[in-house]
């Protein structure tokens, strides 16, 4: 497996919450990451999702060597992160949406120059790279501004530039679009998609933003209560959790619930009724049958959005189904 950038096997992190030095018995253990195993290959773009407190940030801190794992094995760029943290730092870029890694009092340009020297990037390579990043992230207007005075969106773009100046193999981002407006989000997404496609930079990102997921992540991993609950394509996720299609039927007048070849209306509101289609159902045939038997004024077919899928998964309304290798379920289409 020469092209694995991240290899995690039974990766576990347990935090003990001490009740104070003298109250040893009050200790409790929280397993933030529980035997998580996955592999990320070169060039992949992976979304690492999960509800609040699921263990995403904790995983990222282990990947970057900030936290030592409690057990399990972890290799990032061929290195053990907690033992070879400094060596690893030269090969990866890290961005925390919540917290800057730039120097608060330095103008952005000086921060970036300092990054160059810390990472020992050659001056010529740095110039080209900086020009490129400045253009892509539109940094020019605030290069001379101290980081402390930057707006959140500007700072985020500065952080991204700083994380990529040394041309890392792997970019790890913890909620990079948190708090950004739609335009800044679009800039950041566009940028991430580009460096992944053009430079082949492997990217792992956590986010609660559905736009990020739909726009960027071909593969998603969902962690819940510290356990890896799903790992696969975004499309398969929709299918495996039975991301249903719903027909919204508008009748001429209020009527008793529709019943049609085993499909029943699950909700009615005046003349409007909602029919949930089984995965195997042929929507066209159902619509034709409906039109033949009822006075239908209008029909709309709605796919369940990724938002609904995640919400019901996080709430525990539905079980995560792991996509079988090779995607057996595609025959159901």
Partner 1 sequence: MADPAGAARMYALLAWTWIRAAAQYPVSLAMLTAGTAVVTGLDVAAIALMFTRAPRIAGFDVAEALFLYGTATLSFGIADLVLGSTERLGEHVRRGTLDAMLVRPVSPLIQVATEEYSPRRVGKLVPAVTVLALALPRLDTTWTPGRVAMVPAMVAAGAFIFGGLWVLAGAVQFVLLESRGATKALTYGGGFLTQYPMSMFARDLVRGVTFVVPLAFVNWQPALYVLDRPDPLGLPGAARFASPAVAALVCAVAAVAWRAGLRHYRSTGS
- For the beta carbon of residue 121, count every other beta carbon within 10 angstroms: 18
How far does CA 214 lie from the centroid of its chain?
Answer: 9
The interface region with partner 1, picked from 106-114, 239-247, 249-257, 273-281 by CB under 8 A, is 106-114
The nearest distance, CB 98 to Mg ion, in angstroms, is 8
Say whether residue 54 binds ligand ATP (CB under 6 A): yes
Q: Which is nearer to ligand ATP, 165 or 205 (CB)?
A: 205
Give the strands of the sheet with 170-174, arranged side by side: 92-96, 170-174, 202-206, 45-49, 219-224, 227-233
> Of these partners, partner 1, Mg ion, ligand ATP, none, which one is at the site of residue 50 (CB under 5 to 8 Å by kind)?
ligand ATP
Question: Do the Cβ atoms of 73 and 231 come closer than 8 Å?
Answer: no
> Of these partners, ligand ATP, Mg ion, partner 1, none, which one is at the site of residue 101 (CB under 5 to 8 Å by kind)?
partner 1
Distances in Å between the Cα of 259 and the Cα atoms of 284, 289, 301 are 17, 11, 17
Q: Mapping DSSP to helix (H, G, I), strand (E, B) and coil, where does residue 243 land?
A: coil
As a whole number of angstroms, the distance between CA 232 and CA 230 comes to 7
Say whether residue 50 binds ligand ATP (CB under 6 A): yes
Say whether residue 114 binds partner 1 (CB under 8 A): yes
Q: How is 42-63 classified by DSSP, letter by letter?
A: TT-EEEEE-STTSSHHHHHHHH
263: left (phi over 0), alpha (psi -120 to 50) or beta: beta
Say whether residue 53 binds ligand ATP (CB under 6 A): yes
Place of tokens 């990217």: 203
Residues 2-21: x/- map of binding to ligand ATP (CB under 6 A)?
-------------x------
Question: Do the Cβ atoms of 280 and 302 come closer than 8 Å?
Answer: no
Say whether residue 64 binds ligand ATP (CB under 6 A): no
Say whether residue 47 binds ligand ATP (CB under 6 A): no
Interstrand relation of 245-251 and 227-233 (parallel, antiparallel or unpaired): unpaired
Q: Which is nearer to ligand ATP, 139 or 216 (CB)?
A: 216
Of 49, 57, 37, 43, the residue nearest 241 (C-alpha)? 49
The one among 9, 18, 29, 30 contacting ligand ATP by CB under 6 A: 30
The one among 47, 55, 107, 232 contacting ligand ATP by CB under 6 A: 55
Say whether residue 78 binds partner 1 (CB under 8 A): no
> Of these partners, ligand ATP, partner 1, Mg ion, none, which one is at the site of residue 94 (CB under 5 to 8 Å by kind)?
partner 1
> In whole angstroms, how large is the CA radius of gyration of the chain?
24
The nearest distance, CB 216 to partner 1, in angstroms, is 22
Q: Which is nearer to partner 1, 43 or 146 (CB)?
A: 146
Say whether residue 58 binds ligand ATP (CB under 6 A): yes
Question: Do the Cβ atoms of 229 and 223 come closer than 8 Å?
Answer: yes
Say whether residue 221 binds ligand ATP (CB under 6 A): no
Say whether residue 57 binds Mg ion (CB under 5 A): yes
CB-based closest residue to Mg ion: 57
Exposed / middle / buried, residue 76 (Cβ in 10 Å: 0-12, 13-18, 19+): buried
Say whether residue 101 binds partner 1 (CB under 8 A): yes
| Residue 223 structure tokens | 């962690």
What are the E-state strand segments in the chain?
A: 4-17, 28-41, 45-49, 71-76, 92-96, 170-174, 202-206, 219-224, 227-233, 245-251, 259-260, 263-269, 272-277, 296-303
Binders of partner 1 in range 30-69 (CB under 8 A): 57, 61, 64-68
The nearest distance, CB 74 to ligand ATP, in angstroms, is 15
The nearest distance, CB 257 to ligand ATP, in angstroms, is 40
The one among 38, 45, 48, 96 contacting partner 1 by CB under 8 A: 96
Binding site for ligand ATP (CB under 6 A): 15, 30, 32, 50, 52-58
């Amino acid at each position: 497996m020469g092209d694995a950038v991240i290899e995690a096997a039974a990766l576990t992190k347990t935090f003990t919450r001490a009740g104070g030095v003298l109250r040893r018995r009050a200790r409790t253990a929280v397993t933030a990451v529980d035997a998580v195993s996955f592999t990320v290959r070169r060039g992949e773009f992976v979304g690492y999702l999960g509800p609040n407190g699921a263990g995403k940030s904790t995983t990222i801190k282990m990947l970057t060597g900030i936290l030592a794992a409690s057990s399990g094995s972890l290799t990032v760029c061929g290195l053990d992160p907690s033992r070879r943290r400094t060596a690893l730092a030269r090969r990866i870029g890290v961005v925390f949406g919540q917290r800057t890694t730039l120097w608060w009092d330095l103008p952005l340009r000086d921060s970036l120059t300092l990054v160059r020297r810390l990472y020992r990037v050659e001056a010529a390579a740095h110039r080209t790279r900086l020009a490129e990043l400045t253009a892509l992230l539109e940094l020019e207007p605030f290069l001379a501004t101290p980081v402390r005075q930057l707006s959140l969106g500007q700072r985020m773009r500065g952080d991204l530039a700083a994380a990529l100046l040394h041309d890392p193999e792997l970019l790890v981002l913890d909620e990079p679009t948190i708090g950004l407006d739609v335009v800044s989000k679009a800039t950041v997404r566009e940028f991430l998609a580009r460096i992944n496609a053009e430079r082949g930079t492997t990217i792992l990102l956590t986010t609660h933003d559905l736009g990020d997921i739909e726009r960027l992540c071909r593969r998603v991993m969902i962690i819940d209560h510290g356990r890896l609950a799903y790992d696969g394509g975004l499309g398969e996720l929709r299918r495996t959790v039975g991301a249903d299609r719903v027909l919204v039927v508008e009748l001429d007048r209020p009527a008793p619930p529709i019943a049609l070849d085993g499909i029943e209306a699950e909700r009615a509101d005046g003349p409007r009724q909602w029919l949930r289609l089984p995965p195997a159902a042929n929507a066209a045939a159902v619509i034709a049958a409906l039109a033949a038997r009822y006075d239908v004024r209008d029909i709309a077919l709605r796919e369940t959005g990724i938002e609904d899928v995640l919400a019901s998964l996080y709430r525990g309304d539905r079980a995560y189904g792991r996509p079988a290798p090779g995607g057996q379920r595609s025959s159901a289409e």
